[in-house]
Structure 1
Amino acid sequence: MPAKTLQDWKNTAATLAIEGRCFIDGDYRAAMDGRTFDKISPVEGRHLAAIARADAADVELAVAAARRAFDSGSWSRLAPVQRKRTLLRFAELIEAHAEELALLETLDMGKPIANALAADLPGTVNAMRWTAEAIDKVYGEVAATADDQLGLVTREAVGVVGIIVPWNFPLLMASWKFAPALAAGNSVVLKPSERSPLTAIRIAALASEAGIPDGVFNVLGGYGHEAGQALALHNDVDAIAFTGSTRIAKQLMIAAGQSNLKRVWTEAGGKSPNIVCADAPDLLQAAGSAAAAIAYNQGQVCTAGSRLLVQRSIKEEFLEHLRSALAGWAPGHPLDPVTRYGAMVDRQHVEQVRGFIQGAEEEGARLILGGEEGLAGESGCYLAPALFDGVHNGMRIAREEIFGAVLSVIDFDTPEEAVAIANDSPYGLAAALWTSDLSRAHRMARALRAGSVWVNQYSGGDMTAPFGGYKQSGNGRDRSLHAFDKYTELKATWIRL
């Protein structure tokens, strides 16, 4: 079958039926008070759906359903191999609806349809399959005891897990959390961002079709912090798993302390350094990677390589390569299959990123490329990548997470200076470095205070590698077997024989 064209995708979008209600205890339903909010697409500015505006009353209903399901054992007490089979079926259904879900992602938050099809949906399916296959291979322990004692260390599901996810990778980020939570036997209340709730709402029906019992998988399309705060304060929620800003992560931890001291696992902000040493094996490749590291998903990535540290001796040559590479990331219509840089999530976010660009110029940084708003012939939320030189690490654009394609170039002389600049940040989510010296790569990787360090590439790893941050980038880890630590309790059972 030939690939779909821009017009094909527009035609499909025009006839797409979009669900906006909450999914609670196995059924779609309106918010308790009947309120809704409008979801407007950043692609062309058109109205997509009226989304149920869940609040504390809806959270109460969903948590009660999740608790009943958990206590009944309909899911929590199934053998791990049985939960595995159901989750694999869930993954199959998501894969079967990949085009529909990719289109929803693009219309919802503006990412290129090519990226949604090639990365977000396959990544979601892979996360679910890998996690499902892992759960019946996670064992307990037998302690080393005296001959008349038997010590068992076992894992048990936490109970009811509230999951709050961001708008930049709506389905993928959700799957990194609900897959291990469900696999471990928990019940889930998923709260997507109001900026991109559509795929989370849609897959709830697929979860039910796959055989996940009523009440085990619930989705609330709340607005602002209404539903999220109610989840964090609820005394019958046993854990919160969150991806989003550091500011909100702190508020969730406060709410946990004000309620039942629930576990709060956070993957929060980032201001990731991308370090290019003079002996980088391929400057052209490093420049292309640096451009992608800031421009992919319109810069709306928690691990975006927003601080580019370049050794002074190669800086001018490298900047020429970087200019050429960034020129290939001009905004395009997100439904055009050739587009790789789409729309920002909404008008408010465009203005927020533009504010950073203006502020950087006022602080003395030099805008040497990009930052233009708009896309010829189209309405919507478009902002070209911006490249700044003359940045020092004390400037606002080097300190704060912008969540847009704004790249700050900072020069350095020695690897030790580069590490000091990289670590001089409240964040510690990711870092990358480019060098041909193997010993230097190991030394710098060890010295960098970040949860992920990539060498001679930007971004790397798969479901086998844990993902999370140091410092104010959060706690706990997604992906890998370590993810199960967030959704299980350890129990020691000591038996006298």
Structure 2
Amino acid sequence: MTTLPEAKLFIDGELRGATGGATYDLTSPWTGETVGKAADATREDVEAAIAAARNAFDNTDWASDENRQNRFEIVKKYRALFEANRDRLAQLAVHEAGAAQGAVFRAHVNMALDGWDDYLAVFPRVEWEKDYGEKEAFGSIHKRIAVREAVGVVGAITPWNVPLYVNIGKVVAALLAGCTVILKPAPNTPGMGAIFGELANEAGIPKGVLNVVFGEDPALAGEMLVTDPRVDLISFTGSTGVGKRIMEQGAQTLKRVFLELGGKSAKIVLDDAPNFAMDVGMTMLVFHAGQGCAVQSRLLVPRSRYEEAKQILKGAYTQFGDNWGDPEHPQHIMGPVVSKRQMERVLSYIDIGKQEGATLLHGGSARPDKGGGWFIEPTVFVDVTNDMRIAQEEIFGPVLVVIPFEDDEDAIRIANESNYGLSGGVSSGDHDRAIRVAKRIRTGSVSVNNGMCIAGDIPFGGYKASGVGREWGVEGIEEYTELKMLAWPVRQAEPA
């Protein structure tokens, strides 16, 4: 049995255990057995991390304009150290997050490190100073410029589903912007946060600039970060419910918040899609057991081709069969869900779907024969209406719902009748038609004819209950900055 190294805290440049030495057990999603231990941070530990980050921002030159290139070089060296630890990252993805081997070197590791490279590539495009020209006022001509500055101390609170990807999305952008950071990973995946601390000193990150804290209590450290006035910005990825609480608690100190929250994204396959069977079949919700905020979990197909779509999906799921759930198989892309609690949540939604009158086309059961962990077979419901809970609420598991529509207007209506608006897709043989539909969907990103709408060099974020702000790309770095206007008189105005 694999045993992970103990995940340690990183506070003010020191890799260490929790005050008092407390630890908690990490459970493998594959086996349900203990796979390692992690330091269980106390209030004193979180307090020390906040104080270190505040001091490093206020009393060092980390955020200065003169240090900008040095920051870039440090973050670049940091990236090289992560490259040298690819095998360790893969091991963490498998044994903490439950990633299958075929998913490890996609979203979990490769896509994450590619995103880091994208941040380094777009960094020169950040506009640190903008000239607003001259304007007459009070008898003088005034020069106006805007300067971009680091926002300050950042609390980065990250989830368990693709932890390296989200950790990089926040930590790297904040460091490049000149912020100091307290990274708070999810209790299930502390090791993928701890490695940031393990490699920080070797990269040359100054004391206090980066701190990492985590604990068994999912709320303690996060609530301290959100309510502490010394923390200037909270960057959170996770559930909409927790995001609302962060916004409410952060309001007490008028804290800046970036929230990347849930999704119930719709893929619309129009009647003229030239690869109708492929577009329908490839929507199977199996990658990483459907545990992604931007997955397309509602499939919308024309009523005129609904029966055809059912048969396509039945064939696709049957062909997929039992080709999942083996932790050693290099081509498997689906493993367990992350925890017993998550398994129970997903199974409860499958029961709700049955009770609501949807038809279970495939799957729907736990699979204890796969191992001692938290396995649920790929599941698809048809005969779904958009007012059902399984069509409106984020399940975060391998459960796809299929909804018929009458025409383009009906498809747009169904897609938009959701509290969420994170991602989506449109497929059509008519490019202009697809673009017209895509532009009317109230969501942060839309894949048109399977275009790549999520990547590290372009902004990502949501509408409505899917969040506030943007991550990745130039905009993702700018999220961690403030704009300051400077103006001064340069000459007297000419008489009228």
Q: TM-score range by the shorter chain?
A: over 0.9
1:79-478 → structure 2 map (5 Å cutoff): 79-139=67-127, 140-146=129-135, 148-222=141-215, 223-258=217-252, 260-291=253-284, 294-327=285-318, 328=320, 330=322, 331-376=324-369, 378-457=371-450, 460-478=453-471
CA distance in 1, matches of 2:247, 2:17: 29
2:14 matched residue in structure 1: 27
Q: Output the CA distance in 1 between the equivalents of 2:379 and 2:42.
A: 38
- Give the deviation of 1:394 after TM superposition: 0.9
TM-superposed deviation, 1:464: 2.5
Query: What TM-score does the superposition give when structure 2 sets the normalisation length?
Result: 0.93
* CA distance in structure 2 between the aligned counterparts of 1:377 and 1:133, rounded to whole angstroms: 42
CA distance, structure 1, for counterparts of residue 353 and residue 486 of structure 2: 58
CA–CA distance in structure 2, aligned partners of residues 377 and 390 of structure 1? 29
Counterpart residue identity of residue 22, structure 2 = R
Distance 1:173 1:117 in 2: 15
What's the counterpart of residue 57 of structure 2?
Answer: 70
Counterpart residue identity of residue 244, structure 1: G
- Cα pair 2:43 2:220 within 8 Å, conserved: yes
Return the alpha-carbon distance in structure 2 between the equivalents of residues 196 and 335 of structure 1: 20
Query: Could you say if the C-alpha distance between residues 442 and 136 of structure 1 is closer, same or farther in structure 2, counting changes exceeding 3 Å?
Result: closer
Match of 1:50 among 11, 33, 37: 37
1:89-120 alpha-carbon deviations (Å, 9 max, x no partner): 11111111111111111100211123112332
Deviation digits for residues 442-474 of structure 1, max 9, x if unmatched?
A: 211111000001111275342222100000100
Q: Report if aligned partners of 2:122, 2:457 keep a CA contact under 8 Å in 1.
A: no
* Residue 51 of structure 1: how far off its partner (Å): 1.8
Secondary structure of the equivalent of 1:156?
Answer: strand
**1:412-444 deviation per Cα after TM superposition (whole angstroms, max 9, x unaligned):** 110100100110000011111111122211211
Q: Please state how far the C-alpha of 1:74 moved relative to its aligned partner.
A: 4.2
| 1:333 alignment partner, SS class | coil
Bigger mean CA deviation after superposition, 67-76 or 277-286: 67-76
Q: Distance in 1 between matches of 2:298 and 2:45?
A: 41
Q: Deviations over 1:267-286 (max 9, x none)?
A: 00100011111111102320
* Percent identity for Structure 1 against Structure 2: 38
8 Å CA contact 1:269, 1:472 repeated in 2? yes
Q: Secondary structure at the match of 1:236?
A: coil
Q: Distance in 1 between the 2:249 and 2:46 partners?
A: 15
How far is 1:375 from its partner? Answer: 4.9
Which residue number in structure 2 is paired with residue 6 of structure 1?
none
Distance 1:438 1:118, change over 3 A: closer
Whole-angstrom distance in 2 between the partners of 1:325 and 1:299: 16
CA distance in 2, matches of 1:228, 1:154: 31
Partner in structure 1 of residue 493 of structure 2 = none
Q: How far 1:329 moved relative to its partner?
A: 6.1
Q: Within 2, Cα distance between the matches of 1:480 and 1:110?
A: 28
Q: State whether residues 42 and 346 of structure 1, in contact with CA within 8 Å, keep that contact through their aligned partners in structure 2.
A: yes
Change (3 A) 1:263 1:337: same
* Residue aligned with 2:62, SS: coil
> What is the alpha-carbon distance in structure 2 between the residues aligned to residue 51 and residue 339 of structure 1?
28
> What 5-or-longer segments of structure 1 have no aligned partner?
1-9
Amino acid at match of 1:483: G
State the SS of the aligned residue for 2:460: coil
Residues 329 and 200 (structure 1), Cα distance of their counterparts in 2 relative to 1, 3 Å cut: farther
Structure 2 residue identity aligned to 1:32: T
* Alpha carbons of structure 1 residues 358 and 319: separation in structure 2 relative to 1, 3 Å: same
SS in structure 2 opposite 1:297? helix
RMSD: 1.6
* Amino acid in the other structure paired with 2:270: C
User: Who is 1:7 aligned against?
Assistant: none
Aligned length: 481
Once the two structures are superposed, residues 380-425 of structure 1 have per-residue CA deviations (whole angstroms, 9 ceiling, x without a partner) of: 1110111111111111101100000111111011010010011000
Distance in 1, matches of 2:370 and 2:477, equals 48
Instruction: Give the Cα separation in 2 of the matches to 1:377 and 1:84.
Output: 45
* 8 Å contact from structure 1 (residues 109, 346) kept in 2: no
CA-to-aligned-CA distance 1:219-266 (integer Å, 9 cap, x gap): 1112211111111001100000010000000000111112x2110110
Q: Residue 96 of structure 2 aligns to a residue in which SS?
A: helix
SS in structure 1 opposite 2:373?
Answer: strand
Cα 1:118–1:448 shift into 2, 3 Å? closer
CA distance in 1, matches of 2:455, 2:20: 42
Q: Assess if the C-alpha contact under 8 Å between 1:371 and 1:383 holds in 2.
A: yes
Task: Check if 1:483 corresponds to 2:470.
Answer: no
8 Å contact kept, 1:84–1:133: no
Counterpart check, 1:40 vs 2:27: yes
SS of the aligned residue for 1:109 comes to coil
* 8 Å contact from structure 2 (residues 310, 382) kept in 1: no
SS at match of 1:28: strand
TM-score using structure 1 length? 0.93
2:309 match: secondary structure: helix
Q: Distance in 2 between matches of 1:211 and 1:323?
A: 54
Q: What is the distance in 2 between the residues matched to 1:322 and 1:437?
A: 24
